[in-house]
Amino acid sequence: MEFFQVVTVAEARKILSNHWPRLKRKTVVCELTQALGRELVEDIVAQENVPGFTRSTVDGFAVRSGDTFGASEGAPALLRVIGEVPMGARAELALNPGEAAAVSTGGMLPQGADAVVMLEHTETLPGGWINVLKPVAPKENVMAEGEDVRKGRTVLKAGRRLRPQDLGVLAALGQREVKVWEPWRVGILATGNEIVPVDARPGPGQVRDINSYTLWGLIRSCGAEPKLYGIVPDDLACLREKLSEALEENQVVLLSGGSSVGTRDLTLDLLHHWAQDGVLFHGVSIRPGKPTLAAIVNDKIVFGLPGHPVSSMISFELFVGPLLKYGCYRDPEEEPAVEATLVRSLSSDAGREDYVRVRLERGEDGGLVAVPLPGKSGLISTMVQADGFIRIPLEKAGLEAGSRVKVKLFT
Amino acid sequence: MEFFQVVTVAEARKILSNHWPRLKRKTVVCELTQALGRELVEDIVAQENVPGFTRSTVDGFAVRSGDTFGASEGAPALLRVIGEVPMGARAELALNPGEAAAVSTGGMLPQGADAVVMLEHTETLPGGWINVLKPVAPKENVMAEGEDVRKGRTVLKAGRRLRPQDLGVLAALGQREVKVWEPWRVGILATGNEIVPVDARPGPGQVRDINSYTLWGLIRSCGAEPKLYGIVPDDLACLREKLSEALEENQVVLLSGGSSVGTRDLTLDLLHHWAQDGVLFHGVSIRPGKPTLAAIVNDKIVFGLPGHPVSSMISFELFVGPLLKYGCYRDPEEEPAVEATLVRSLSSDAGREDYVRVRLERGEDGGLVAVPLPGKSGLISTMVQADGFIRIPLEKAGLEAGSRVKVKLFT
């Protein structure tokens, strides 16, 4: 019988958010490309201006903008072309009034020039002259020195998870190496006397370990470093030994399964005696995923995840994944989702969040529809068929067929 | 001057989709965890039933459902408990009418039993008897043999990109290794006399190579294998040599930059003479990203991407990324996005798709708002500040302030 007090998703997340900053990681200096997806240890402050000189953003002619004022197709401004700016070198030319210099995109503006006329707005005349058919304002078609990044500015803040464009700006600043946090290490222990390894042939009453592999994939997809610790039988000494080993080498340990009464009781016994803050919570008001458990041991977090494969994944997505990926929980509104029309009504008990697997299809009118895939939470095949899931919040008693829903896609 | 005929995004994608299947890759057999994100070479057909036996999905008592019909709190069904099913072993017991056996979640159903009563719906009596307080239907709280995966069923189709749950079902089937396609190899060549490597100090008129690094990150985020080929100066022989080398080792080559007239002309000259199908297209009706080019050389695809960092990223996201990640282009409707309120009106020319960088913030009412970050497409810093982008479709002349927009987040 389940005697534990269930908490809401919000309560569980609040507890975990408070504990998360206690976890410790090492830092590492790595080559720029290897820093993708890693988090910065320190602020990055620009040591120089980018670009280091004023350059053209188009192909055309560098001019003194004043020379083009009032120019039109009917009354073009006539300018003398005194040369061409070489790419990748100083523009040695200097423009006097009435003069222009050919310049390519990215080329340096010559002295005296303050704007660039696009090639399309000029007419080349014989003898080194051009007609400018349209006026340019000062600084038009020009990127000024330091306009992209100004020296002294904080370009990226500590904690930032580096995206492709962040690598780009670091490259612009000449930062060939960068100091980042090591990825979170997450150990996975499968529990249960009925579980056998993937390469075993299950005997009567036995099933192969599914959750270690789905969890491995989920952890990896969050940019963290998973490690499999195999299967622990229902034995207190074994569990204690394996869990100690996993806690030694990781910041987070997932105890998968232990859905049977025996394993669950063992796990609870062990954690209640071991965890310095006791068990943080045991049981969350969600379906599936209710028997989720968390505890702090040696400033590390142990999650007890449900044994049913669907529950295990949903529980991970709700509680573990966001911390690994963002270090916090995001509002559902901020989670990218696909909008679709629900084809069937769904009911839910008030006071419980429901997560429903759905497949996306095209409806009769060609629009996207979400087809719920009900089914026992023990069926991994329903997750394989699903494209994502929808959430029925705590306060809702269900969702009507025909309503627009947000589907969070599996990655 | 730009003489090339621009194509629409849809036209460009259609041309590329036609050519994509020509690209060749090797296959590799890899360990299950290493197959995450890779694509299956062959269909996976189940060689056995999962589970291999009928099991309980709850903690409780295995019963003959008929024995519980009509049971209620007022008139419970009295059953004799003849034993307990051991986990991970055959249930040796056999139930006669009026008998029950204790069983944990995942345990095997004994012979004669066809359902399980949840522990919560029973009352334990002295002397090895229980009261059943609620009837169970046949098969209730039971997962039948083969209910998750039936032997002979195609579980995963060839071409499937393996997600965490797909690893799970493969594990359930005992598939320790799996045959997958090697990741796409994508070479990156930066061009332009003004570009210097990240570890160089730029001289007058020079800037460091930004795009190689943003493209590296984007390629990697698509699960493909990027390789940097450095910077090629504006010289036909050098360009031909480097491009040959990159084509030798990759299925896709990105020529970054060449935004200056000189480089662009060189690239076009080379590709027009070299590409067996000629240049597929040169110029797309988008902003930013217009000067995008594609060509087929030796059954491989060469993309010429714009030199401006913002244009380069947008062009990659529109044309290269989806092919690397999905092998096709998805409808914008199918792309996960965050919905927000646009804080400022945006205009766009009809007949052109616009991609506008935005930052997500909380508005006065607490809702998500999208703040456009206008700015030259040469400014990588605007991409660093942006959370994602919004699309103004071909047929729209703009978007009104206050309208709800879909923001595609950068990964």
φ, ψ of residue A301 to 5 degrees: the values are -105, 130
Interface A-B, measured as beta-carbon pairs within 8 A, has a size of 339
- Determine whether the interchain pair B205/A156 forms a contact, defined as Cβ–Cβ distance below 8 Å: no
What's the farthest any 2 CA atoms get from each other in chain A?
A: 97
To the nearest whole Å, the CA of B220 is away from the closest chain A CA by 9
Beta-sheet pairing, B129-132 with B77-84: antiparallel
User: A27-50+147-181 and A335-409 share one CATH topology?
Assistant: no
Chain B residues whose beta carbon lies within 8 Å of the beta carbon of residue A212 = 171
Amino acid in the structure at residue A372: P
CA distances from B292 to B6, B238, B256 (A): 9, 22, 10
To the nearest whole Å, the CA of A127 is away from the closest chain B CA by 20
CA distances from B238 to A308, B125, B207, B245, B266 (A): 59, 89, 20, 11, 11
- Determine whether the interchain pair B106/A192 forms a contact, defined as Cβ–Cβ distance below 8 Å: yes
Which of the listed CATH numbers 2.30.29.30, 3.30.1650.10, 3.90.105.10, 1.20.1090.10 matches domain B36-49+151-181?
3.90.105.10
Range with lowest mean pLDDT among A214-223, A274-283, B25-34, B178-187: A274-283
**Nearest CB to A88; choose among B1, B194, B217:** B194
Nearest to A212 by CA among B268, B164, B2, B361: B164
- Determine whether the interchain pair A208/B59 forms a contact, defined as Cβ–Cβ distance below 8 Å: no
B333-409 sits in which CATH class? Answer: mainly beta
Q: Which of residues 220-239 of B touch A (CB under 8 A)?
A: 220-221, 226, 228, 234
Amino acid in the structure at residue B15: I
B217 touches chain A (CB under 8 A): yes
A155-169 per-position pLDDT tens digit:
999 999 999 999 999
- Determine whether the interchain pair B53/A205 forms a contact, defined as Cβ–Cβ distance below 8 Å: yes
What are B402's two structure tokens?
């206050």
Q: Which helix (H) or strand (E) holds A381?
A: helix A380-385
Q: What is the DSSP string of A126-180?
A: TTTEEEE-S---TTTTEE-TTSSB-TT-EEE-TTPBPPHHHHHHHHHTT--EEEE
What are B89's two structure tokens?
């072993």
A71-126 per-position pLDDT tens digit:
999 999 999 999 999 999 998 999 999 999 999 999 999 999 999 999 999 999 99
- Determine whether the interchain pair A148/B104 forms a contact, defined as Cβ–Cβ distance below 8 Å: no
User: Residue A260: what pLDDT?
Assistant: 62
So what's the architecture of A27-50+147-181 in CATH?
Alpha-Beta Complex (3.90)
To the nearest whole Å, the CA of B145 is away from the closest chain A CA by 11
Q: How many C-alpha atoms does B72 have within 13 Å on its Cβ side?
A: 3
B144 touches chain A (CB under 8 A): no
The strand ranges marked E within B136-260 are 142-143, 154-156, 177-181, 185-191, 195-196, 207-208, 225-232, 252-257
To the nearest whole Å, the CA of B321 is away from the closest chain A CA by 13
Chain A residues whose beta carbon lies within 8 Å of the beta carbon of residue B86 = 193, 205
Residue of A nearest to B213 (CA): A168
* Contacts for B380 with CB less than 8 Å, ≥ 6 apart: A50, A148, A149, A165, A168, A169, A172, B210, B214, B309, B310
Reduce the DSSP state of residue B323 to 3 states and report it.
helix
| Band of residue B258 on the pLDDT scale cut at 50, 70, 90 | low
What's the whole-number average pLDDT of chain A?
A: 94
Q: Which helix (H) or strand (E) holds B14?
A: helix B9-19
Q: Quote the CA–CA distance of B175 and B166 in Å, as a whole number.
A: 11
Percent of chain A with pLDDT over 70: 98
Range with lowest mean pLDDT among B114-123, B275-284, B387-396: B275-284
Chain A residues whose beta carbon lies within 8 Å of the beta carbon of residue B201 = 174
Reduce the DSSP state of residue A244 to 3 states and report it.
helix
Chain A residues whose beta carbon lies within 8 Å of the beta carbon of residue B174 = 198-201, 208
| Band of residue A268 on the pLDDT scale cut at 50, 70, 90 | confident
Q: Quote the CA–CA distance of A150 and A51 in Å, as a whole number.
A: 9
Residue of A nearest to B91 (CA): A205
Q: Which of residues 292-311 of B touch A (CB under 8 A)?
A: 307-309
Averaged pLDDT, A24-47: 97
| Band of residue A2 on the pLDDT scale cut at 50, 70, 90 | very low
The dotted CATH code for A55-143 is 2.170.190.11
Strand partners, B389: B357, B408
Nearest to A77 by CA among A94, A98, A61: A98
Angle at A198 between CA A192 and CA A202, to 5 degrees: 65
A327-336 per-position pLDDT tens digit:
999 998 999 9
What's the whole-number average pLDDT of chain B?
A: 94
So what's the architecture of A335-409 in CATH?
Beta Barrel (2.40)
Radius of gyration in angstroms for the set of CA atoms belonging to chain A, rounded to a whole number: 31
For the whole model, what pTM was predicted? 0.95
- Determine whether the interchain pair A106/B259 forms a contact, defined as Cβ–Cβ distance below 8 Å: yes
To the nearest whole Å, the CA of B236 is away from the closest chain A CA by 16
Q: Quote the CA–CA distance of A63 and A102 in Å, as a whole number.
A: 9
Q: How many C-alpha atoms does A331 have within 13 Å on its Cβ side?
A: 10
Q: Is residue A1's pLDDT more than 60? A: no
| Band of residue A257 on the pLDDT scale cut at 50, 70, 90 | confident
Which class for B356: exposed (0-12), middle (13-18), buried (19 or more C-beta within 10 A)? buried
Measured in whole angstroms, how far is the alpha carbon of residue A32 from the centre of its chain?
18
Alpha helices in B124-282 (DSSP H): 164-172, 211-221, 236-249, 261-274
| Band of residue B259 on the pLDDT scale cut at 50, 70, 90 | low
Amino acid in the structure at residue A116: V
User: Residue A4: what pLDDT?
Assistant: 58
Higher local confidence (pLDDT), A179 or B1: A179
Q: Quote the CA–CA distance of B408 and A337 in Å, as a whole number.
A: 10
Averaged pLDDT, A308-314: 96
| Band of residue A259 on the pLDDT scale cut at 50, 70, 90 | low
Range with lowest mean pLDDT among A172-181, B53-62, B107-116, B348-357: B348-357
Chain B residues whose beta carbon lies within 8 Å of the beta carbon of residue A210 = 168-169, 171-172
Q: Quote the CA–CA distance of A117 and A137 in Å, as a whole number.
A: 10
Q: Is residue B65's pLDDT more than 80? A: yes
Break chain B into its structural domains and give their ranges.
9-25+183-323, 36-49+151-181, 55-143, 333-409
Fold of A9-25+183-330: Molybdenum Cofactor Biosythetic Enzyme; Chain A (3.40.980)
**Nearest CB to A409; choose among B57, B119, B336:** B336
Chain A residues whose beta carbon lies within 8 Å of the beta carbon of residue B89 = 193, 203-206
A104 touches chain B (CB under 8 A): yes
Averaged pLDDT, A28-42: 98
B3 touches chain A (CB under 8 A): no
B181 touches chain A (CB under 8 A): no
To the nearest whole Å, the CA of A367 is away from the closest chain B CA by 9
Chain A residues whose beta carbon lies within 8 Å of the beta carbon of residue B410 = 163-165
Which class for A32: exposed (0-12), middle (13-18), buried (19 or more C-beta within 10 A)? buried
CA distances from A123 to A61, A95, A96, B132, B150 (A): 11, 19, 20, 95, 74
To the nearest whole Å, the CA of B58 is away from the closest chain A CA by 8
Reduce the DSSP state of residue A198 to 3 states and report it.
coil
- Determine whether the interchain pair A57/B378 forms a contact, defined as Cβ–Cβ distance below 8 Å: yes
B317-345 per-position pLDDT tens digit:
999 999 999 999 999 899 999 999 999 99
Residue of A nearest to B388 (CA): A336
B31 touches chain A (CB under 8 A): no
Interface test with A, best of B2, B143, B208, B338 (most A CBs within 10 A): B208
A337 touches chain B (CB under 8 A): yes
User: Residue A261: what pLDDT?
Assistant: 67
- Determine whether the interchain pair A217/B108 forms a contact, defined as Cβ–Cβ distance below 8 Å: no
User: Residue B260: what pLDDT?
Assistant: 62
Interface test with B, best of A47, A165, A259, A335 (most B CBs within 10 A): A165
Strand partners, B279: B295
- Determine whether the interchain pair A88/B33 forms a contact, defined as Cβ–Cβ distance below 8 Å: no
Q: What is the DSSP string of B237-249?
A: HHHHHHHHHHHHH
Q: Which of residues 345-374 of A touch B (CB under 8 A)?
A: 360, 367-368
To the nearest whole Å, the CA of A23 is away from the closest chain B CA by 25
To the nearest whole Å, the CA of A29 is away from the closest chain B CA by 16
φ, ψ of residue B242 to 5 degrees: the values are -65, -40
B193-230 per-position pLDDT tens digit:
999 999 999 999 999 999 999 999 999 999 999 999 99
Residue of B nearest to A387 (CA): B163
Q: Are B285 and B8 in contact (CB under 8 A)?
A: yes
User: Residue A316: what pLDDT?
Assistant: 97
- Determine whether the interchain pair B193/A88 forms a contact, defined as Cβ–Cβ distance below 8 Å: yes
Which of the listed CATH numbers 3.40.980.10, 3.40.50.720, 3.40.605.10, 1.25.40.10 matches domain B9-25+183-323?
3.40.980.10
- Determine whether the interchain pair A308/B168 forms a contact, defined as Cβ–Cβ distance below 8 Å: no
User: Residue A161: what pLDDT?
Assistant: 97
Measured in whole angstroms, how far is the alpha carbon of residue B185 from the centre of its chain?
17
To the nearest whole Å, the CA of B38 is away from the closest chain A CA by 12
Report DSSP state, residue A40: B
- Determine whether the interchain pair A155/B376 forms a contact, defined as Cβ–Cβ distance below 8 Å: no
Q: Of how many residues is chain A composed? A: 411
- Determine whether the interchain pair B338/A338 forms a contact, defined as Cβ–Cβ distance below 8 Å: no
Q: Are B400 and B370 in contact (CB under 8 A)?
A: no
| Band of residue A188 on the pLDDT scale cut at 50, 70, 90 | very high
Alpha helices in A222-344 (DSSP H): 236-249, 261-274, 309-315, 321-326
Measured in whole angstroms, how far is the alpha carbon of residue B62 from the centre of its chain?
42
Q: Which of residues 39-78 of B touch A (CB under 8 A)?
A: 50-53, 55, 57, 59
User: Residue A375: what pLDDT?
Assistant: 85
**Nearest CB to B198; choose among A85, A171, A207:** A171
- Determine whether the interchain pair A309/B33 forms a contact, defined as Cβ–Cβ distance below 8 Å: no
B348-376 per-position pLDDT tens digit:
888 899 999 999 999 999 999 999 998 89
A327-385 per-position pLDDT tens digit:
999 998 999 999 999 999 999 888 899 999 999 999 999 999 999 998 899 999 999 99
First-to-last CA distance in chain A?
Answer: 36
**Nearest CB to B217; choose among A36, A209, A226:** A36
